[in-house]
Amino acid sequence: MHQECFHVIEDQADRHWFFRGREAIVRSFLARRGRRLRVLDVGCGKGFFLHDVKAALPNSSVTGIDIARYAIENAMDDIKPFVIVCDCRALPYADHVFDFVLSITTIHNVHYSDCKKALQEIERVGKKHKFVVVDAYRNEEEKERLYKWNLTAQTMMHVDDWKELFKEAGYTGDYYWFIA
Ligand SMILES: C[S@@+](CC[C@H](N)C(=O)[O-])C[C@H]1O[C@@H](n2cnc3c(N)ncnc32)[C@H](O)[C@@H]1O
């Protein structure tokens, strides 16, 4: 991702409805779970989501990976110790160690066959709770808008094709779409 994009996200993190809404959801989701959670963010960028997790649950253990060295080197100060440069297609963790694995608008940045690999990796390292968001469309209009809007995605598919891929990969987590 272009370095400028990370600055835009950082600038908006405290103000934009998307980030404020996400923080509220994370807080309410995690607050219902009393025990120490292990959370992995695949494609964590500068670690904003993990920062929200830590704020909501200081005892949680957070881990993030991102392929962009720039993002990891410039991650939020409190999160920097917990993030590494790594590819979503090969996660350096043992099987079923994370209570919650999420990956927001990251997986579609690799080719189709590698999306399957990334989903299988999330499935492998996660326990029950997993959540991914990917670029998708439901009709020609949305497809056209997505292709015009796209900067980095290599796999943009109809929602039904994504569901098929989730099945093929054996991915059992939740999912949602980024629709342009
Ligand atoms: C649109 S940003 C989303 C960042 C963050 N998940 C969020 O919701 O704000 C996509 C992220 O995926 C990362 N990324 C792209 N390809 C990747 C790969 N193969 N492995 C790991 N991270 C990747 C990019 O560097 C970027 O930080």
Mutating to test ligand 1, I would choose from 4, 19, 104, 109 the residue with most ligand atoms within 8 A of its C-beta, which is 109
Band (pLDDT 50/70/90 cuts) for residue 53 is very high
pLDDT in tens, 1-50: 666 666 666 666 667 777 766 666 666 666 655 568 999 999 999 999 99
Residue nearest to atom 3 of ligand 1 (CA): 105
Please give the CATH superfamily to which domain 3-178 belongs: Vaccinia Virus protein VP39 (3.40.50.150)
Tell me, yes or no, if the pTM score tops 0.75.
yes
Domain boundaries, the chain: 3-178
**CB–CB of 43/66 below 8 Å?**
yes
**What pLDDT, on the 0 to 100 scale, is given for residue 146?**
95
Distance 60 CA to ligand 1 centre (A): 22
Distance 93 CA to ligand 1 centre (A): 18
Number of the ligand 1 atom closest to the C-alpha atom of 110: 19
Q: What is the mean pLDDT of the chain?
A: 90
pLDDT in tens, 81-99: 999 999 999 999 999 999 9
Distance 29 CA to ligand 1 centre (A): 23
**What pLDDT, on the 0 to 100 scale, is given for residue 164?**
98
Residues within 6 Å of ligand 1 by CB:
1, 9, 43-45, 48, 65-68, 71, 87-88, 104-106, 109-110
**E strands along the chain, which residues?**
38-42, 61-66, 83-85, 98-104, 126-137, 157-158, 174-178
Within 10 A of 95 (CB to CB), how many other CB atoms are there? Answer: 9
Residue nearest to atom 4 of ligand 1 (CA): 45
DSSP annotation string for 96-143:
T-EEEEEEES-GGGS-HHHHHHHHHHHHHHEEEEEEEEEEEESSHHHH
**What pLDDT, on the 0 to 100 scale, is given for residue 10?**
67
Radius of gyration of the chain (CA): 16
Decide: helix, strand or coil at residue 34.
coil
